[in-house]
Amino acid sequence: MDITLHEEISKKVGEFACVDYEFFEAPDKDNMSRRAIRFVLETVDKSDVRAPETAGSRSKRRYKLPTKTERKGLVTSRVGQGEYRQALLDKFEGKCAVTQLGIEEVLIASHIVPWRDSNDFERLDPDNGILLSPNYDALFDKHLISFEDSGEIIVSPMIKPNQLSLLGISKEAKISVTELMKPYLARHREKLR
pLDDT of residue 152: 98
pLDDT bin (cut points 50, 70, 90) of residue 188 is very high
The pTM score is 0.60
CA neighbor of 193 nearest in space, from 163, 166, 154, 153: 154
pLDDT of residue 41: 76
**98 vs 8: which has the higher pLDDT:** 98
Q: H-helix or E-strand containing 142? A: none
Q: How far apart are CA 157 and CA 166, in angstroms?
A: 16
Per-residue pLDDT for 79 more than 50?
no
User: Helices 68-79 and 83-91 sit at what angle, rounded to 10 degrees?
Assistant: 60
List pLDDT tens digits, range 15-62: 777 777 777 677 777 777 777 787 777 777 655 444 444 444 444 445
- DSSP-derived letter for residue 174 is B
Per-residue pLDDT for 158 more than 90?
yes
pLDDT of residue 15: 74
pLDDT of residue 142: 95
* Mean of the per-residue pLDDT values of the chain: 80
Per-residue pLDDT for 8 more than 70?
no
Per-residue pLDDT for 92 more than 70?
yes
